[in-house]
Structures are given as structure tokens and as C-alpha cells.
Structure 1
Amino acid sequence: MPKRIRRRIQGRFHHNCFKPCGMPGHKLEHITLTKDEIEAIRLADFKGMYQEDAAKEMEISRPTFSRILNNARKKIATALIEGRAIEIENF
């Protein structure tokens, strides 16, 4: 099993779950965003950072950052299109 590299996560998130309106949470499928994925979304999409700069902020390579960001965006798109709840991994 590959060694997991510790990444730098700075964001503080006030909510750990988002779901479609009008649907009880227990009836929905859930998608979980990892700490790395939510941090990549925060840096690239919320703060508008270039991937190179965001990767340095997280202390990872730019290709790794790109892979994490793409995974996060795919999960978010799936949740929006298919009406799933999004959970953020606990810090």
C-alpha cells in the first residue's frame, strides 16, 4: 500500500453536509469529499488560485493537485446532477 503523504489543509468548514431541498437525508445516497478534495476546491474555485500556486500551498505537486481537483469536481457534479447529498470528511 502506498505511503499517504500528509498535505497542508487550512480551510475551516462550517457545514459538513449539503443535500437537495425537500428530501430527508436518510433517503439520499451520499458522496464524500475528502479533506484534500475540499481544500483543492477552496483554493482553486473559491479563492481563484492557479493550480501551480494552490499545489504549493498544499505542499503537493501540480499534477497531484490537478488529480485531486478533478476528482472533487466530478463528485460535486455527480451530486448535483443525480440529487445526492455531499458530505465533507471530518477534520
Structure 2
Amino acid sequence: MRRRIRGKFHHNCFKPCGMPGHNLEYINLSRDEIEAIRLADYNEMYQEDAAKEMEISRPTFSRILNNARKKIASALLEGKAIEIENF
């Protein structure tokens, strides 16, 4: 499914400080997920407006956003690295 991704992402991986990357479990965020985070959390857009920006339905946007937030929370709380796919 084609979606509009406008964000420019300058980093493709984030990891806990002081931990070698080869010792970490990685969480993968899709481009859709990082775009949803950018629109909803960074740009503080309402989900309906953000969904229109991505050219998807609001329920689909909500599912993508919830998945992204769960992955980020897991990485922060469990000391995992975050990698953005198709960078």
C-alpha cells in the first residue's frame, strides 16, 4: 500500500549509550511508523489530520502509531536499539 512519507530522517539507528551494537537486540521501525511518530508526537498533529497527510484512514494511522509507540517503549525500557528500515 502506498503512503506519503515526507519526513527527512538523518539517523537510522539509536542505541543505549555505552553498549556495543553487536550485544543489543534491535527493534525495527518502518518508515510508516517513524512518519506517524513525527506527525503525531513531534508535530503534535491530530490523528485525523496526520492520517490525511499520509493518505491513509484514521484507524490505520492509529494502528501504525500505537505499534510504533509500543516498539519505542520496549526499546527504552528494555535497553534495545532502534533501527529505521529503508532509510
Give TM-score scaled by structure 1 length: 0.94
Candidates 22, 26, 38, aligned match of 1:26? 22
Q: Which runs of 5+ in 1 are unaligned?
A: none
Deviation at 1:90, TM superposition (A): 1.8
Q: Which runs of 5+ in 2 are unaligned?
A: none
Q: Deviations over 1:22-66 (max 9, x none)?
A: 000010000000000000000000000000000000000000000
Candidates 46, 64, 73, aligned match of 1:77? 73
Structure-1 separation of matches of 2:58 and 2:11:
28
Q: What fraction of aligned residue pairs are identical, expressed as a percent?
A: 84
Residue in 1 that maps onto 2:49: 53
Give TM-score scaled by structure 2 length: 0.99
Structure-1 separation of matches of 2:31 and 2:86:
8
- 1:8-27 matched pairs, under 5 angstroms: 8-27=4-23
What do you get for the CA RMSD once the two structures are aligned?
0.5
Structure-1 separation of matches of 2:7 and 2:85:
13
The one-letter amino acid of 2:84's match is I
How many residue pairs get aligned? The number is 87
